[in-house]
Amino acid sequence: MGISVSHISKSYKAVKALKDISFEVKAGELFGLIGPDGAGKTTLFRILTTLLIANEGTATVANFDVISDYKNIRKSVGYMPGKFSLYQDLTVEENLDFFATIFGTTIEENYDLIKDIYVQIAPFKDRRAGKLSGGMKQKLALCCALIHKPKVLFLDEPTTGVDPVSRKEFWDMLKRLQQKGITILVSTPYMDEAALCDRIALIQDGKILEIDTPQAIVKHYPKQIYNVRANNTYQLIKALNTYKHNHSTYPFGEFVHYTDSRLNFNPDDLVRYLESKKLSNIEIEKTNPTIEDTFMELAK
Amino acid sequence: MKRFIGFIKKEFYHIFRDRRSLFILFGMPIAQIMLFGFAITNEINNVDIAVLDHSKDATTKEIINKISASKYFSINQFIDKESDIETIFKKGKVKAVLNFEKDFSKNLIKDHNAKIQIVTDATDPNTANTISNYVNAILIQYQKELNKNITISYQIVPRTRMVYNPELKSVYMFVPGVMTIILMLVSAMMTSISITREKELGTMEILLVSPIKPIQVIVGKVFPYIFLSIINAIVIVLLSIFIFKMPVQGSLFLLGMESVLFIITALALGILISTISATQQTAMMISLIGLMLPVILLSGFIFPISSMPLPLQMISNIIPAKWFIIIIKGIMLKGVGMQFIWKETLILLGMTIFFIGLSVKKYKIRLE
């Protein structure tokens, strides 16, 4: 009842958007597609929601083939595109009512499913959708995608452009929806959200780099990462990048994540090197890899 | 069916919440019909002319009086020398100059032959032509009065009768044309814009990923505009009857039915435009340039088709507006029934079926 993708490729004229993509999403799973802008996430969503036809490969959604059985898929999935795609000149309630009607249902019939989300936007139900804030718009869009009780939910970058508090609320809602038995495929460019999925696929330039649970992906990270801090972060990055044993250097919040190419790395060597580069207040400590580190390492 | 009704309800929300478009939708027909009816006209009234009278005798005075007494002309000024003719034309105050030769009366009596020159400003050829015809007519009339007592043995007397529009009111010609333009514009442009708007805003993506059928989307889109266009057609007919006293000789019911047919033709064209354009801008440009210009220029609304070069005459046959103008002129002015316009009606019907078939075939069930 989930999603099955096998050897999907898709090109737009000269650009290869997807190259031989294969993966499975189990029924009831919360599956994340993690990758930067332009990685091919939206193209993949459009193929799975029957809006585009792949050049090669096959895919099924809820056991329906995306090409021959597209009508059944359109009846049984919920789709929330990356761009806000509701009627801006209709009110919150009118939008929801419209989508319920075209799916042959009513708001009352499936109110249970959307209740948690809808109560948050209910105070604004007479406001036009175009006048809502970013987070409100996403909640309304989610309600509209859920109103017909879909078996599979496709969410294309639902939290892009949404404030951190609303993002957290949004993910809490996804977790609750998952408990109701809905299979969810969600894409996001935010690495911190990846950890909230059951399994994730890291995708870049139309290729899948790795598929696993967030915990396993992090475990596969081959090196010890060090948090490095100094009085001048910009100078610090420059110095680390020119260090002859440097393996990788990425700014990460207030720290710089550093890995060394040697197996018997001694942080004291690095401190001395950095001091020679006129940096002070140097701190170096071990840290655990995050999904972002893994992604950067794989994308190298 | 519930889906379809829900969809139409949504369309009406769109239309009534977009106040500006709504204003254009209903304001435009009224403004256009008023403009064409009152301001834009082929008739000449009170045209200013000048007189250069070299003889200043009884006969010239009489002719001048006759001319200024007609409602077409008012004698604006008198000039004294030939060189002034060009000067006053350049000033643009008068459209024509009447130049009486020296000793006009004397020549007329002695030689039975006097000369008058009519100089017209032909920067506007139609007006110049009309002015010279009208002056000629007045002169011939005057001549007849002079020859009253003389019988000419052979005489051909033409008696002209203008039927269907005896007063030659140009509004009779404009009303059918304006009605055609308005119905075309409202129906084709508004539907094509409203479908492409869904594409542009991304809502088409959600509509596609839903069980609603393409035919429901298309019919749901055109339905409100059929309704609005019918209101427009009624407003235009009422305006022309009550303000311009234009008679509707034929059956109002037939007129209504033919209008509905033409509205559907235009809507089908609008859907076709929307299937080939990705943005509202493109849809609008195609509707304006691709539909409006042919409707105005090639439909026979302003320029008679029979005087066009053959290739353009042939092109005019594929323009639905041409057939509709023939139909409504027939019904409104000549009072004809179906037996005289069945051919045009069939052509329109055929075009409509062709456009609808083509657009259903071209309607994309996916994004590409």
Contact A102 B7 (CB under 8 A): yes
Pair A152, A270 in one domain: no
User: Where in chain B does DSSP place strands (E)?
Assistant: 47-53, 73-79, 96-100, 116-120
DSSP class of residue A296 equals: H
Contact B206 A51 (CB under 8 A): no
Query: Which among A46, A51, A75, A142 is the top mutation candidate for probing chain B, defined by the most B β-carbons within 10 Å of its own β-carbon?
Result: A51
- Count the alpha carbons within 13 Å of B96 in the hemisphere toward its beta carbon: 27
Which chain B residues are within 8 Å of A101, Cβ to Cβ? Answer: 2-3, 5-7
- Any residues with CB less than 8 A from the CB of B339 and at least 6 apart, and which? none
What would the mean pLDDT of A226-239 be, rounded to a whole number? 90
Pair A210, A234 in one domain: no
Instruction: Output phi, psi for B256, to 5 deg.
Output: -60, -45
Pair A251, A171 in one domain: no
List, edge to edge, every strand of the sheet that includes B96-100: B73-79, B47-53, B96-100, B116-120
Of A159, A193, A219, the last residue of a domain is: A219
Quote the minimal CA–CA distance from A13 to chain B in Å.
Answer: 12
Q: Are B48 and B93 in contact (CB under 8 A)?
A: yes
> What's the Cα-to-Cα distance from A37 to each of A23, A69, A292, B14, rounded to whole Å?
20, 30, 15, 33
Parallel, antiparallel or unpaired: strands B73-79 and A255-260: unpaired
Pair A273, A149 in one domain: no
Contact A102 B205 (CB under 8 A): no
Query: Is the four-CA dihedral B136, B142, B144, B147 of positive or negative sign?
Result: negative
Q: Are A144 and B209 in contact (CB under 8 A)?
A: no
Quote the minimal CA–CA distance from B271 to chain A in Å.
Answer: 20
What would the mean pLDDT of A203-214 be, rounded to a whole number? 91
Size of interface A-B (CB pairs under 8 A): 78
Pair A104, A236 in one domain: no
Give the domain CATH number at A96: 3.40.50.300
Contact B367 A46 (CB under 8 A): yes
Quote the minimal CA–CA distance from A75 to chain B in Å.
Answer: 5
CA–centroid distance for B9 within its chain: 36
Q: Residue holding tokens 């045009």?
A: B344
Of A195, A219, A243, the last residue of a domain is: A219
pLDDT of residue A190: 86
Q: What percent of the residues of chain A are helix, what percent strand, and what percent coil, each to the nearest 5?
A: 35, 30, 35
pLDDT of residue B41: 65
ipTM of the complex: 0.84
Q: How far apart are CA B309 and CA B297, in angstroms?
A: 13
pLDDT digits (tens, 9 = 90+) for A104-138: 899 999 898 888 888 988 999 999 999 998 888 98
Of A219, A234, A268, the last residue of a domain is: A219
| Average pLDDT value for chain A | 90
Pair A200, A232 in one domain: no
Taking each continuous run of H as one helix and of E as one strand, the counts in chain B are 16, 4
Pair A94, A207 in one domain: yes
pLDDT of residue B165: 80
Burial class (CB in 10 A: 0-12, 13-18, 19+), A68: exposed
pLDDT of residue A117: 87
From first to last of its 368 residues, what are the pLDDT tens digits of chain B? 888 999 999 999 999 998 888 888 888 888 888 887 777 666 678 888 999 998 888 889 989 999 988 888 888 789 988 888 888 888 888 889 999 988 888 888 888 888 899 999 888 888 888 889 899 989 988 888 888 777 777 878 788 888 888 777 777 888 888 889 888 888 888 889 888 999 898 899 999 999 988 888 888 888 899 999 999 999 988 988 888 888 888 899 999 999 999 999 999 999 899 888 889 999 989 988 888 888 888 888 878 888 889 999 999 999 999 999 999 999 988 889 889 999 999 999 999 999 988 887 888 888 76
- Any residues with CB less than 8 A from the CB of B257 and at least 6 apart, and which? none
How would you label A283-296 residue by residue, b for 16+ Cβ within 10 Å and e otherwise?
ebeeeebbbbbbbb
Contact B6 A86 (CB under 8 A): no
Q: How far apart are CA B84 and CA B52, in angstroms?
A: 9
Q: Which residues constitute the domain of residue A272? A: 225-299
pLDDT of residue B155: 76
Which chain B residues are within 8 Å of A94, Cβ to Cβ? Answer: 10, 13
Q: How far apart are CA A138 and CA A129, in angstroms?
A: 10
Question: Residue B292 has which token pair?
Answer: 């409006």
Contact A102 B13 (CB under 8 A): no
Q: How far apart are CA A277 and CA A273, in angstroms?
A: 7
Q: Are B40 and B177 in contact (CB under 8 A)?
A: no
Which chain B residues are within 8 Å of A98, Cβ to Cβ? Answer: 6-7, 9-10
Instruction: Tell me chain B's radius of gyration from C-alpha atoms.
Output: 28
Nearest to A173 by CA among A114, A110, A111, A128: A114
User: Residue A94's closest chain B neighbor by CA?
Assistant: B10
Query: Which among B210, B212, B219, B368 is the top mutation candidate for probing chain A, defined by the most A β-carbons within 10 Å of its own β-carbon?
Result: B210
Instruction: Output phi, psi for A211, to 5 deg.
Output: -130, 125
User: Residue B13's closest chain A neighbor by CA?
Assistant: A90
Which chain B residues are within 8 Å of A51, Cβ to Cβ? Answer: 205, 208-209, 366-367
Contact B2 A77 (CB under 8 A): no
Pair A177, A295 in one domain: no
pLDDT of residue B344: 94
Pair A24, A129 in one domain: yes
Pair A17, A146 in one domain: yes
Pair A209, A242 in one domain: no
Per-residue pLDDT at A1 exceeds 80: no
Which chain B residues are within 8 Å of A84, Cβ to Cβ? Answer: 202
- Any residues with CB less than 8 A from the CB of B290 and at least 6 apart, and which? B273
Give the domain CATH number at A235: 3.30.70
Domains identified in chain A, total number: 2
Which chain B residues are within 8 Å of A99, Cβ to Cβ? Answer: 206, 210
Domains and CATH numbers, chain B: 10-40+169-362 (no CATH), 47-146 (3.40.1710.10)
Pair A215, A94 in one domain: yes
Count of all residues that appear for chain B in the document: 368
Residue type, B198: E
Which chain B residues are within 8 Å of A71, Cβ to Cβ? Answer: 211
Q: How far apart are CA A196 and CA B105, in angstroms?
A: 111
Residues from B in contact with A at Cβ < 8 Å: 2-3, 5-7, 9-10, 13-14, 17-18, 201-203, 205-212, 365-368
